[in-house]
């Protein structure tokens, strides 16, 4: 593998990142929108989204997507890692660690006081990886989600 650089996403990266996102959806066995829709989403990222990519030549081997949060501890901003993914063919080479290190560095540079994320509780290797970074599982928090009909119903609920 050629030398890998970790950097912020650039518009020229959109086609390669979209292709990696298709791989990711297959890896997780979840539905995937058409490639053109993925590229359109990348072209119209919401404000506050930061995407780091692991690049070797013109290939994107991994990415980490995070967004700004406010308020965080001490009424300061924080970062929330939404997704980190490394291509199947590039696993085991330290790219996940490099992406997390770069994301932590970006959080510090942006003045964020915390980096939060969720993880699959049934993946001990993943949990071990995060703990090896110095992360501490937050057992006093519960993760909730509104989606589909429940989201629509909540949006239409009268006050």
CATH number, domain of 104, equals 3.40.630.30
Residues forming a β-bridge with 5? 55
Q: What is the pLDDT of residues 17-37, one digit of tens each?
A: 999 999 999 999 999 999 999
155 pLDDT more than 80: yes
- Give the pLDDT confidence score for residue 118 in this predicted structure: 94
Measured N-to-C along each axis, helices 14-27 and 35-43 cross at an angle, to the nearest 10 degrees, of: 120
1 pLDDT more than 80: no
Burial class (CB in 10 A: 0-12, 13-18, 19+), 127: middle
- Give the pLDDT confidence score for residue 104 in this predicted structure: 97
- 7-104-68-24 Cα dihedral, nearest 10 degrees: 60
**b/e per residue, 56-85, with b = 16+ CB within 10 A?**
beebbbbbbbbbbbeebeeeebbbbbeebb
For the chain, the straight-line distance linking the first and the last C-alpha, in angstroms and rounded, comes to 57
Q: What is the pLDDT of residues 125-150, one digit of tens each?
A: 999 999 999 999 999 989 999 999 99
Owning domain of residue 42: 5-156
* Total number of domains in the chain: 1
Is residue 51 within 8 A of residue 17, CB to CB? The reply is yes
29-58 mean pLDDT: 96
How large a percentage of the chain has pLDDT more than 90? Answer: 91
37-41 mean pLDDT: 97
């Amino acid at each position: 593998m050629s030398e890998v650089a970790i950097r912020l996403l650039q518009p020229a990266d959109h086609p390669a990142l979209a292709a990696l996102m298709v791989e990711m959806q297959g890896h997780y066995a979840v539905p995937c929108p058409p490639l053109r829709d993925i590229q359109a989403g990348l072209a119209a990222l919401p404000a506050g989204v930061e995407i780091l990519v692991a690049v070797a030549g013109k290939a994107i081997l991994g990415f980490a997507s995070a967004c700004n949060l406010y308020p965080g501890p001490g009424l300061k901003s924080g970062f929330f890692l939404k997704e980190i993914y490394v291509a199947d063919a590039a696993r085991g080479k330290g790219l996940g660690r490099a992406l997390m290190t770069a994301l932590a560095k970006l959080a510090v540079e942006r003045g964020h006081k915390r980096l939060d994320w969720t993880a699959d509780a049934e993946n001990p290797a993943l949990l071990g990886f995060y703990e090896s970074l110095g992360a501490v599982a937050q057992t006093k928090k519960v993760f909730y989600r509104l989606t589909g009909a429940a989201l629509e119903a909540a949006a239409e609920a009268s006050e």
